[in-house]
Each structure stands twice: as C-alpha cells, then as structure tokens.
C-alpha cells in the first residue's frame, strides 16, 4: 500500500526529525510503501493535501492526531490515517479508529 507521511513543524517544534523517524519506522513495521520523497515536514497543509490526493496514497502516516488537527475529516476522504502515538488506524471515509496491531489486518481494513 502506498503511503505519504506528514510531520507538521509547528506541532513537532523541537523534535521534527524525531517525528520523521517515527513515521518511517511505523511504515517499515507495517510494510507500507513510503518513498523518501513522500515524507513531508511542513506548516502549510493546504498545499500538501492536494499532493496527497494526486499521489493516490492509501495511507497518511502522522506522528499523532495533532498533526492533522482540523484536517482529519478532509484527509480521511482521501486515505486512511495511521498515527504513531497512539498507534491507531483512522479508516478512510469515516468509522471509528482502531488499534494498529498487525500489517495484514490493516492492509485489508483500509481498502
């Protein structure tokens, strides 16, 4: 499954690189296809959301829900959202979030 990662600078503040490393680690563990060019550290989500749509990503990986504060519903119309802390899967098109446990479970659920 294709993924894109978003780390907001204004939320990550002092630990921006730690946020990037955490989303990459989750993507590896959960067997997501997350190219380096699709890991974005930004403060402007509006431009990035158009990119998320054009890449046809299945999953958007963020360090925490705060990184999509105010944009979660919009992003979930495009892709599932996976958070590192706490480890949750927010399904595409709505539904209750559930715990990230095994890659095979979430690869089927997110489709």
Q: Structural domain boundaries of the chain?
A: 3-109
Predicted structure pTM score: 0.85
What is residue 16's predicted lDDT score, i.e. its pLDDT? 56
What percent of the chain clears pLDDT 90, i.e. is strictly above it?
A: 48
Q: CATH homologous superfamily for 3-109?
A: Resolvase, N-terminal catalytic domain (3.40.50.1390)
What is residue 54's predicted lDDT score, i.e. its pLDDT? 82
* Mean local confidence (pLDDT), 74-86: 94
pLDDT tier for residue 79 given thresholds of 50, 70 and 90: very high
Own/partner pairs, 65-72, CB within 8 angstroms, 24+ separation: 65/90, 66/8, 66/11, 67/6, 67/7, 67/8, 67/11, 67/12, 67/19, 68/6, 69/11, 71/45
């Amino acid at each position: 499954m294709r993924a894109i990662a978003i780390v907001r600078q204004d939320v990550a503040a002092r630990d921006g690189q730690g946020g990037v490393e955490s989303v990459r680690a989750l993507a590896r563990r959960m067997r997501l296809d997350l190219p380096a060019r699709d890991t974005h550290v930004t403060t402007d989500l509006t431009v990035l959301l158009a990119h998320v749509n054009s890449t046809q990503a299945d999953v958007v990986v963020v360090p925490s829900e705060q990184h999509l504060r105010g944009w979660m519903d919009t992003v979930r119309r495009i892709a599932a959202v996976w958070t590192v802390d706490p480890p949750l899967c927010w399904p595409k098109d709505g539904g209750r979030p559930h715990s990230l446990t095994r890659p095979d479970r979430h690869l089927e659920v997110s489709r």
